[in-house]
Amino acid sequence: MADALMDVGNLNDGEKQHTPGSTTPNTLISQQVDVAQAEAEFNALSRQLTKRSELARQQSKSQSSVTATLQQDVEKARVDDWHKAQGVVWEDLQVEVMGGINSKRYVGTLGGAILAFFMVPILWICTLIRLVMPVKEETATNVILHKSSGVLKPGEMCLVLGCPGAGCTTFLKTISNHREGYAKVTGDVLYAGIDATEMEKYYKGEVVYNQEDDIHIATLTVAQTLAFALSTSVYPNDF
């Protein structure tokens, strides 16, 4: 009975201590944290993070797209290196060969070869005399390709038609910068703005002439022939 009275007394003391001005731990938490405001801040922060994540995802997609595009461009550029195309411009192109219209060429015989062998000392003396006293001799020439002008854009194909002896091969060899064997070649030929002399000196392998008669070693296969031609025309690292 005494214990019960002591408990009641303690309760009464506790009620007296918790006056309206005093605060409990629960009331402290409720006064320091506003649940509604915290939820609003959480939602706002969540939206910001979502926007940033979406922006980062879009940037990653765009960056990957740019990387893929650049990779495709690089691969395309590497392929284009093997498929070069350049334009050709020729103006007043004319080709002449040795010998006039009425000139004749005789076929050598055995008697002529023997006579020339014994005439070698005399021919040497004549050559020395010509070097000391040069005599200007006009060599007769014949025009086999008359003046013509034209343009071939990069990637275009030119079809040349003509009867045998019309100069089709001469024209093709001339615009491909193969001028050996001709007495005189006049006119201007430009390859992507580069003249024929500079092209022959620095970029000879960029212009190729493929003649009608295929000259190759019969014991080699086609693959071996092409491999050898490529190995002598391109850099070792590219082959």
Contact status, residue 120 vs residue 127, Cβ threshold 8 Å: no
Contact status, residue 139 vs residue 69, Cβ threshold 8 Å: no
- Nearest Cα neighbor of 173 from 203, 141, 211 is 211
Tell which of 30, 59, 83 closes a domain.
83
Are 70 and 155 in the same domain? no
Are 9 and 39 in the same domain? yes
pTM for the model stands at 0.49
Are 196 and 110 in the same domain? yes
- pLDDT of the residue at 7: 46
Are 231 and 182 in the same domain? yes
Segments forming the whole domain that contains residue 153:
88-238
Q: How many domains does the chain have?
A: 2
- pLDDT of the residue at 101: 65
Are 26 and 110 in the same domain? no
pLDDT along the chain (239 residues), means of 10: 44 46 48 70 74 69 64 57 75 85 74 86 85 72 88 88 87 89 89 88 83 79 85 63
- pLDDT of the residue at 90: 92
Are 62 and 100 in the same domain? no
Are 176 and 106 in the same domain? yes
Tell which of 64, 83, 102 closes a domain.
83
- Nearest Cα neighbor of 146 from 88, 90, 192, 89 is 90
Tell which of 83, 114, 147 closes a domain.
83
Are 74 and 96 in the same domain? no
- Nearest Cα neighbor of 208 from 185, 234, 186 is 234
Are 63 and 94 in the same domain? no
